[in-house]
Copies of this chain bind each other. A is one copy, B any other.
Amino acid sequence: MSILKGNLLYGQSGGPTSVINATAYGVINEAKKHPEIGSIYCMINGIVGAIKDNVVCMDQYSEEQLELLKQTPGAAFKSARYKLADYHKDDTDYMKILNTLKKYDIRYILFNGGNDSMDTSDKLMHFLDTVDYECRILGLPKTIDNDLVYTDHCPGFGSAAKFVANTMTQIATDLEAYPTGKVTVVEIMGRNAGWLTAASCIACLAGCGPDLIYLPEIPFSIGKFKRDVARVYEKNKRCLVAVSEGIRDADGIVYGESPAAKDAFGHAQLGGVATMLANVIKTDLGYPSRGIEFNVMQRASTNLLSKTDLEESVTIGRIGVQWILEGKTRLMVCMKREEGPEYKISHFGQALPDIANGEQLIPRNWINADGNGVTQEFFDYVRPLILGEVFPSYKNGVIEMFRL
């Protein structure tokens, strides 16, 4: 193992989570303890910051300011959805990144994101090989979608799941206020994987969860949906439904999809399926109904973090620093759930391309036979991830945040 000396560059990419900045905190706090690392820089707007020489040195921030990262939503160092070209065809961006790395003597890169970010990291390393620039990179996972392969779960998922479970309980309780309630359809994020929508089941442990759960993993039939809702509504005079934004029919047509809107990676911009389904219920079944969308609240509610998720997110950042100093590179830090009655996590590294090209869906046997709910296996999987509470600091009644 060669001993490198130089500076560390950290970047954030993809959709924010309520704890991605907690991972940034873990990185910065840990890196300060290691004299092999000179200064810590953060890319502004992820890889775009490296291309444009837009980075910020963290030396100027007090420990008190940095602590606030643990309760700041969004991406404190700004994110990006930017796809690097194939460097064999066009190395413009790569040459600019190289200049930035040289200018700040960057020898360690920690890149915090999902599978697109692992793809970016992998491409960059292949390019750096061709120019003999000595540098290590590790990927740090984050996504509320929980759809990264190899890792047991992803930082960000537990807190989003906790928001979903608590908010579903509150909506269910509100719904019970009147003798006749509405059919309430709640739309939850998740393009192809229904992890976060399925996590709404935890509300049932509080005695008032969703009656029906529809996930992208199971082909959605509008006819069956109406029959399911009618059965519940006729019995209870109210019905609470959780649907993933990405539910699709047997032909793969996504219900809420607007074909015109796609992001830089070609993902369709989704939304609006709850309102659509609520209208179907009103029109075809004649029941009062409403659609609710959790929107960005499900990834930004730092008032309601899972302590487990928060601590794991900080730890992922610390481990990234420790491993990269030990010589590990071109891996994403993954979590493994240890066997045994107590929930316990260990860490391992997985090659970047393995992560970049995979997508973890919910196993079929964790979804009920009828395709409108989850099984005990799913409950057992998700329950430990939302445990523990964190009480953030407030000023003027509003949660305090880190500001660049």
**Residues of A near any B CB (own CB < 8 A):** 15-16, 45, 48, 72-75, 78-81, 162, 165-167, 169-171, 173-179, 202-203, 205-208, 271-272, 275, 290, 292-293, 295-297, 299-304, 306, 383, 386-389, 391, 394-401, 403
Contacts and interface: CB of A to CB of B under 8 A. Distances in A.
Given A72-B173, A177-B78, A387 B397 contact: yes
23 contacts: A15-B177, A45-B178, A72-B173, A73-B174, A74-B174, A80-B179, A166-B399, A167-B297, A169-B399, A170-B300, A170-B302, A171-B296, A174-B299, A205-B396, A206-B395, A206-B398, A206-B399, A272-B275, A275-B275, A292-B293, A303-B303, A303-B304, A387-B396
Given A45-B179, A173-B300, A303-B303, A386 B397 contact: yes
A162 B397 contact: yes
Contacts of A170: 73-74, 296-297, 300-302, 399
A174 B206 contact: no
B403 A207 contact: yes
A171 B397 contact: no
Contacts of A73: 170, 173-174
A50 to B, nearest CB: 14
B396 A389 contact: no
A79 B177 contact: yes
Given A202-B396, A203-B398, A306-B397, 9 more contacts: A73-B173, A81-B178, A166-B399, A167-B297, A169-B399, A170-B297, A173-B401, A271-B290, A275-B275
Contact of A169 (B166, B207, B398): B398
Contact of A398 (B166, B176, B391, B403): B166
A48 B203 CA distance: 29
Contacts of A79: 177-178
Contacts of A272: 275
Contacts of A387: 396-397
Contact of A303 (B166, B171, B296, B395): B166
Given A16-B177, A177-B75, A300-B170, A165 B398 contact: yes
User: Which 6 pairs across A and B sit closest by C-beta, in order of nearness?
Assistant: A386-B397, A74-B173, A170-B300, A75-B177, A206-B398, A79-B177
Nearest to A400: B206
A178 B208 CA distance: 37
Contacts of A75: 177
A297 B297 contact: yes
